[in-house]
Amino acid sequence: MPQDDKVLSARLVIQHQSPGLTKCQAWLQQAQDQTSSVLSRIEAIENLARECHEHQVFQTLSWLLQNATEDRSVQRTILRLLPNWGKGPMQLSVLLGALSTPGLRTEAIAALDSLAVVTGQMEARLLETLAQSRAGDWNFIQVRAMPNLYGRDPRLLQFLAEFVRTGNPWQRALAASELCGLGETQVAFSAASDPHARVRKSLAAAIGYFQEQAGDGVLSRLLTDEDAAVAQAARRSVELIRNPGTEITASGDPSNLSEWMALLEELSAFRLTDSRLLARLSGGVIAKSWLGEPGAAESQITTLEQRIGRRLPPSYRSFLMASNGFLAPDTFISGLYGTESVDWFRVRHADWAHAYRDTYPHLGSCLQVSEVGDAVILL
């Protein structure tokens, strides 16, 4: 459309809005109006990107990106123009979220590339973190958060590609998953040949989560993987790609004791790669490579249920049968309770339950199943 026609169209849009609106408010209203033509909505978004950089405008356009019923052409326009609102963490977060939306991945990657190279204090922070990680101070939570801070900065992509090849199995698994999410498919897909099943499983899951259409061939190969967990992850990802919007749920039967044991053994192996945790543990725990306890007997679980006056959920009963307590399941919680320690939150923390009674009226009636650290697990 010629520029003069665009200006005329924009004026007509403003004239037909409620009186008293500013031009930015009128354009924003037009952009949200799903009864208007797609072309007029796109013109309004282009006008907003050119002249209206207020936070409210950014927030509204971000919401349109997350709306499952929104027109894809409108969403692609928003993604293309979103960098006009800056390159801070909020912008990166929105663009990263769009990476897993079917039909928007290509545009999200292009928008991230336009913001790719961080500078100033962010650059200094990135380089320091990369240097520390390469020197052996690898922090999984920190590495997992890096795309949210630095997007597709080439130095971050190079770092992740490096660890797909040279890291331990857990590092390789995380690096492959993050690279897949960031659109670096060629390097990520190389993990399909990794000798460790954990790495192949992580890649299989990531392809489905991020709706990576280019991963069809990789999933076909992993469907026949010798490791059952890898093949299962591949099947779930195939289903996710064939039926976008399918809810991602845990695989298998949560009350299955053998699945709990497999999960907890894998969790133990992962957590025992944390040098900070190793420094706090006894030699016996480290030698066994197991952070759990012997499983609870049925009588112990029944005694707990009688004490609290409730039947426990089947999945939690099976957890206790697999391990009657568990050390340091993550960096925020120092331990999951065994049957003798589980109790209502109000028993140990009546003051908290009272203080937050208006905000969280059911807090006191939650079952506390973990120690309190930087977080607490409640049922």
HSE-up of 171 (CA within 13 Å, CB side)?
A: 18
Task: Give residue-wise pLDDT tens across range 312-344.
Answer: 999 999 999 999 999 999 888 999 999 999 999
With bands split at pLDDT 50, 70 and 90, how would you rate the model's confidence at 14?
very low
Q: pTM, whole model, 2 decimals?
A: 0.78
pLDDT of residue 88: 81
% of the chain surpassing 70 pLDDT: 92
With bands split at pLDDT 50, 70 and 90, how would you rate the model's confidence at 11?
very low
With bands split at pLDDT 50, 70 and 90, how would you rate the model's confidence at 123?
very high
Beta strand segments in the chain, E: 326-330, 333-336, 343-344, 367-368
More confident residue, 248 or 119: 119
Arithmetic mean of pLDDT, 179-188: 95
Task: Give residue-wise pLDDT tens across range 58-98.
Answer: 999 999 998 989 999 999 999 999 999 988 888 888 999 89
- Burial letters 21-53, b for 16+ CB under 10 A, else e: eebbbbbbbbbbeeebeeebbbbbbbbbbeebe
% of the chain surpassing 90 pLDDT: 70
CB contact at 8 A, 377 and 367:
no
